[in-house]
Every structure is written in structure tokens, then in C-alpha cells.
Amino acid sequence: MVDRSTGLAGRRIVVGISGGIAAYKSPELVRRLREHGAEVRVVMTESATAFISPLTLQAVSGHRVHRQLLDEQAEAAMGHIELARWADQVVIAPASAGLIARLAAGLADDLLTTLVLATEARIWLAPAMNRVMWANPAVADNCRRLASREVTLLGPASGSQACGEEGPGRMIEPDRIVKALLDVVRPGPLTGRRFLVTAGPTFEDLDPVRFIGNRSSGRMGFAVAGALADAGASVCLVAGPVQLDTPPGVERVDVRSAGEMLEAVLARIDPCHGFVAVAAVADYRPVEPARHKIKKSGQPLTLSLEPCPDILATVAALPEPPFVVGFAAETHDLESYARGKLERKRLDLIAANRVGDGSGFECEHNALEVYSRDCHWSLQPQSKTTLAHALVEIIAQQMQQREESTP
């Protein structure tokens, strides 16, 4: 059973550390965030490393510390844009006067400032500096500019300072930072749950230049992944070839064919509580793609195709399947086909939409009929984003019901 009592469970937090004596408190902050269930990655500025060792932060966060924009190894593990998307909160503690000035100016001259510009996550700053610096109108100005951009300032506190002076400028204690986050970041209905989502079409290669594809844009699957993340879930999105931005807080794996999609799903399904198959997976693929470009001969061409693996049915047939949600696109007899798939593939829910009359594929709006074995929900035509949130509410409610009824 998932422990949902911890308010930051499943939250993805980047802790940024800039140069200042208060950096000695940052490992404690990381530890506390993790105790509350958050996943934490640490980004340090160059001057921060003069105050505290990256190794300490690596040990307390359980992950390699990100330090440089152009660090090949770190970029290969998780690039800075990926990290910016991964985060749902960025907490910079301590935030030095210099860093605050660079953020206020919108500079992107190191990894931390670039990440702040590139993220859609909420940003929190815990300033720390000498009291006279804190009182300087230039600093006050910069803080006002940041606050007007919805950056939240925490502190500073008053008290004795490292420089021997007394007054405001101390970084607030890690406990107070965590409390501020807990007050705002409410756990969602799916906090602490892991989901795997498939989206987009698959392309099945005929030869090195041609493939069998379909018109799925991937938008519905991406919207579902985003809505699951908004509900607090950790989400991995296995995406076929699409031109879409990854929703904030979602981890993405790109694949091309049904075979690759199945492999990516099976490699990640194990710790998942839910699987939502939105991808329009090809039903058939060439038995053997040609190694060289197929040349025209003027004669009819017969292609030999074999069925693709059914990813959804494979997951639902696992010995301990997660909560499984399928999609169905139908031109007619929507309910009977959808219910048939629900039974045949042993799904918990199926979301069916009508296609072929200008709705469904390649458009922003959609409507869904959602069926479980004994319930039916009708979701009226609306944007795919709103629709995805409505579907995720049903998923969360049904998962909870299933959990409560399982001894």
C-alpha cells in the first residue's frame, strides 16, 4: 500500500545551492525533503562548491550533483532541459545576493540560472547574506522584481551572522523551508503512485525510407501524462514519433515501433501502480523490413505483414498487473466494441472516443465514453487537456475503490 501521508511524496524537487556560508544547511534541507517523500536533485553553482562538497550533497540526495552546463556526463544522465522539465519545485537555498541579481536580470550564465529560466516549476528562494547587503536598495529591487514574477521568497531570518554582525540576512532553517513547501504543495490524489503512459503513433519500417504509420498526434496521451503528474503521480511517458513538448514533471522515453514500445514498457512496468495505453500502436508490421530501398518495378507489390504485439493486453496479463486503462477509437458501435475490449484485454477501464467525423485524431478537442465493468461516465467534448484531467479523476477514484475492496 502506498504511504500517502507524507505531503511531498512523489514531488520532484531541484535544490539549487549558491555560494554562501549558509550552504552548510543545504544537506539538512535535502535530507528533510527526502524524509517527506520528495525526490531531490541538487544543482550547485561553482562558488557553492567552495563552501560545501558536492560529495556530501551526492550522498544525502542519492544522486550525482549537477554543476556545469556543459558537463557531458551529467548531460548524458539528465540534460539541463530535462532537469528543468523534471522538476515541479525549484528551491534555491542559500540564494546569494549575486545569484538573486542574476536571476532578476534573467541571465543564463551557468547551470542554475539557465535551469530557472527553462523551468515551469515553482521557484522558491531562501536568501542569505550580510545584513547591510540585504538592506541595500539594489537587492530589495531585485527581490521585488523576482516576487512580481511569482518567485517565492522565504526569509531571510534575523540573528547573529557569520560575519559577526547581528540583523536580518540569515538563511531560514531547513525545517521552515520544508514547512513552507508543505503548506503549498498539497498532495494530489495520486501522490506516491507511479504511472506508465504510452502515446502517439508507432512507425513500422518497410525499408530504410518508408514506414507504415497512422494519424495519431500524441496530444491525448501527452495530456493524460501531464494530468497524472498534476495529480501527484510520478509519470514515465513512452512516446512514439511525435512533435510535442514533454509535459512538466514527466519523464519521457522516445520509441519508434511497436516492438520498441513494448520493450520500453516492459522494462519500466515493474514498480508501476497504473498503466494507461493511449498510443495508437500499429496493428500490423512488415514481417521483415527490406534492408535496401524497395525499387519500383511497374508491377503490383504485395507486402507481407504480421500482427504487432499487443502492449496493453501483455501488461494486463502480467501476474500482478497494475491498474490498466485502455483507449479505443471507434467509428461505430462504440459501447459494444469498447466493452468487448475491456473484457477481452482484462482492463480496469477503457476510454472510448468516436473517430472519423472530424473528432479524435489530429484535433485539440475530444469527447470520451469511459467504461469499467459496472460503470459508465460520459465526458463531453472539451479540450484534450481538460478531458485528461477528468479522466485522471476517474482513474484515481477507481484505483482507490479497488484498493479499499482488496483485502
Closest-CA residue to 231 (of 87, 392, 391):
392
Question: In the complex, what is the shortest distance from the CB of residue 36 to ligand CTP, in angstroms, rounded to a whole number?
Answer: 35
Query: Which residue lies nearer to ligand CTP by CB, 84 or 277?
Result: 277
Question: In the complex, what is the shortest distance from the CB of residue 65 to ligand CTP, in angstroms, rounded to a whole number?
Answer: 38
Q: What is the DSSP letter of 210?
A: -
Query: Which residue lies nearer to ligand CTP by CB, 98 or 241?
Result: 241
Interacting positions 107-126 with ligand CTP (CB under 6 A):
none
Beta-strand pair 157-160/122-127: unpaired
Beta strands in 308-399 (DSSP E): 323-330, 349-354, 365-371, 376-383
Query: Which residue lies nearer to ligand CTP by CB, 80 or 345?
Result: 345
Q: Record the cell numbers describing residue 241, joined without a space.
A: 514519433
- Give me the phi and psi of 354, to 5 degrees please: -85, 135
355 counts as binding ligand CTP under rule CB under 6 A: no
DSSP codes of every residue in 121-166? SEEEEEE---HHHHHSHHHHHHHHHHHHTTPEE--PEEEE-TTS-E
199 counts as binding ligand CTP under rule CB under 6 A: no
Distance of CA 135 to the CA centre of its chain: 39
Closest-CA residue to 396 (of 228, 235, 284, 250):
228
Question: In the complex, what is the shortest distance from the CB of residue 228 to ligand CTP, in angstroms, rounded to a whole number?
Answer: 15
Q: Which of 255, 279, 370, 379 binds ligand CTP (CB under 6 A)?
A: 279
Is there a cis peptide before residue 94, judged by omega within 30 degrees of 0?
yes
**Side chain identity at residue 356, one-letter code:** G
Q: Which of 169, 232, 326, 360 binds ligand CTP (CB under 6 A)?
A: 326
Q: Which of 190, 281, 316, 392 binds ligand CTP (CB under 6 A)?
A: 281
Cα separation, 367 vs 331, whole angstroms: 13
Query: Which residue lies nearer to ligand CTP by CB, 126 or 276?
Result: 276
Stretch that binds ligand CTP, among 14-22, 110-118, 151-159, 320-328 (CB under 6 A): 320-328
Closest-CA residue to 250 (of 218, 280, 282):
218
H-run or E-run covering 232 = none
Q: What is the DSSP letter of 49?
A: G
> Binding pattern to ligand CTP, positions 230-269, x when CB under 6 A?
----------------------------x-----------
The residues carrying an active-site annotation are: 163
Q: Which of 49, 283, 334, 385 binds ligand CTP (CB under 6 A)?
A: 283
> Binding pattern to ligand CTP, positions 296-315, x when CB under 6 A?
------------xxxxx---
Cα separation, 3 vs 192, whole angstroms: 7
Question: In the complex, what is the shortest distance from the CB of residue 360 to ligand CTP, in angstroms, rounded to a whole number?
Answer: 11
Query: Which residue lies nearer to ligand CTP by CB, 168 or 321?
Result: 321
What residues make contact with ligand CTP under the rule CB under 6 A?
198, 258, 277-279, 281, 283, 308-312, 326-329, 341
